[in-house]
Amino acid sequence: MIRITNLQKSFLLGPKKNMVLKNVNLEINKGEMVAIMGRSGSGKSTLLNILAGLVKADSGSYHFDNNDVLKMDSNQVAEFRKCNIGYVFQNSVLIDTKDVYHNIVLPLKYSNYSKSEEKKKISLVLAALHIEKLKHNSIDTLSGGEGQRVAIARAIIQDPKVIIADEPTGSLDEKTEEDILRLFTIFNKQGKTIIIVTHNQKVADSCDRIFYIENGCCNLFTGY
Ligand SMILES: Nc1ncnc2c1ncn2[C@@H]1O[C@H](COP(=O)(O)OP(=O)(O)O)[C@@H](O)[C@H]1O
Ligand SMILES: [Mg+2]
């Protein structure tokens, strides 16, 4: 489903080039749940941003279902992202002038759904994430775990094929972390492909495979 070959990505650091991803090769199959680990600053978020089509690589290739994502123009990438990718950002920002319902419905505003279709979709994700009761809550009343559920709801409202999550349990207590992890496992059992960046070994261990980014390369983690 996802095939990345010889991918490179650098950022300019003043006059210097900061080579973040030097040579990334990665294949992820449909229906897999994989973890990406690595030190802070190793390029995990950068790789997720490339997978989501938010950042262009310098060179190499990225194929998604045999479509060459790096060759798409900006409209095509936007369409690709809308159809395929649900992204739970690190420190997901919810809009605190809108309630839970209106935060979750936001991505649908770029499609032409009727009000009743919108409502149906929202009901489904609210139920899936067990947050029906929070529907009309304002964002500042939510706990960390509840806020994360809303961020996940917003990411999956379009029913994406792939869910990308950047340290989704980073700031949560252990019990809440387990709840969130369970949700991802359920989505995975329902057929979603899941890519999680995590520092948490327990989260990583519940994935099918673990990749490790080090020195700009991404390798399968095969043991301790
Ligand atoms: N937009 C950007 N502009 C310049 N440098 C960036 C940008 N995004 C990331 N970087 C740099 O790329 C490196 C990897 O960052 P990142 O992918 O966020 O790492 P990780 O998520 O593994 O902590 C860091 O050195 C970071 O400073
Ligand atoms: Mg990061």
Which structural domain range is residue 206 located in?
31-57+84-220
> Which atom of ligand 1 lies nearest, measured to the CA of 47?
17
Distance 35 CA to ligand 1 centre (A): 19
In the chain, the DSSP E strands lie at: 2-13, 16-28, 33-37, 59-64, 67-68, 85-88, 162-166, 193-197, 209-214, 217-220
d(CA 114, CA 135): 19
**3-class state of residue 145 by DSSP:** helix
How many folded domains does the chain comprise? 1
- Do the domain assignments include residue 1? no
> Which atom of ligand 1 lies nearest, measured to the CA of 90?
21
**The one-letter amino acid at 151:** A
- Do the domain assignments include residue 174? yes
Tell me which residue of 104, 168, 164 sits closest to 132, measured CA to CA: 104
Question: Can you give the CATH number for the domain in which 44 is found?
Answer: 3.40.50.300
- Do the domain assignments include residue 24? no
d(CA 101, CA 133): 11
Distance 41 CA to ligand 1 centre (A): 6
- Do the domain assignments include residue 11? no
Give, for all 224 residues of the chain, the pLDDT tens digit: 999 999 999 999 889 999 999 999 999 999 999 999 999 999 999 999 999 999 999 999 999 999 999 999 999 999 999 999 999 998 778 999 999 999 999 989 888 889 999 999 999 999 988 999 999 999 999 998 899 999 999 999 999 999 999 998 887 888 888 888 999 999 999 999 999 999 999 999 999 999 999 999 999 987 76
Indicate which residue's Cα is closest to atom 27 of ligand 1: 41
- Do the domain assignments include residue 97? yes
- Do the domain assignments include residue 38? yes
Distance 189 CA to ligand 1 centre (A): 32
- Do the domain assignments include residue 156? yes
DSSP 160-199: -SEEEEESTTTTS-HHHHHHHHHHHHHHHHTT-EEEEE-S
Indicate which residue's Cα is closest to atom 24 of ligand 1: 41
d(CA 98, CA 78): 24
Indicate which residue's Cα is closest to atom 26 of ligand 1: 41
> Which atom of ligand 1 lies nearest, measured to the CA of 48?
17
- Do the domain assignments include residue 45? yes
Pocket of ligand 1 (CB under 6 A): 11, 18, 20, 38, 40-46
CB atoms within 10 A of CB 22: 15
Tokens read off for 149:
């559920």
Phi, psi dihedrals of residue 113, rounded to the nearest 5°: -90, 145
Tokens read off for 109:
């505003």
